[in-house]
Amino acid sequence: MSSDSTWHTINVRIPFASTHHATIAKQAIEVDKELQAQSVKRTLTVEDDVLVATFQTLTIRLSRLTVNGFLENVDLIARTLGEFGEEAAR
């Protein structure tokens, strides 16, 4: 594997309505492991009501593909929480 100096790092911060919703999003996303684990490192954390994702990839192209996929998942989760948010809060 390449040295850390060749890794590209992207940080994404997604605010949610509550810490609980951010935690639900984190748990839903982290179920799926990265398909190219040797080329993509992902770290998910929750800071208050913000889901924080850090991606490290070996290429810019992988950065774009990885973040696009992540944002598609976040969009689906946010829309689902919008529909079922009251039930998700219980």
Helix pair 60-88, 19-30: axis angle to 10 deg: 130
In the chain, what are the domain boundaries? 4-88
Per-residue pLDDT at 2: 45
Per-residue pLDDT at 1: 45
* pLDDT, tens digit, 9 for 90 and up, residues 53-71: 999 999 999 999 999 999 9
Of 55, 54, 43, 57, nearest to 1 by C-alpha is 57
CATH of 4-88, one of 3.30.70.360, 3.40.50.2300, 3.30.310.50, 3.30.420.40: 3.30.310.50
pLDDT at 9 over 60: yes
Question: Which class for 40: exposed (0-12), middle (13-18), buried (19 or more C-beta within 10 A)?
Answer: buried
* pLDDT, tens digit, 9 for 90 and up, residues 18-28: 999 999 999 99
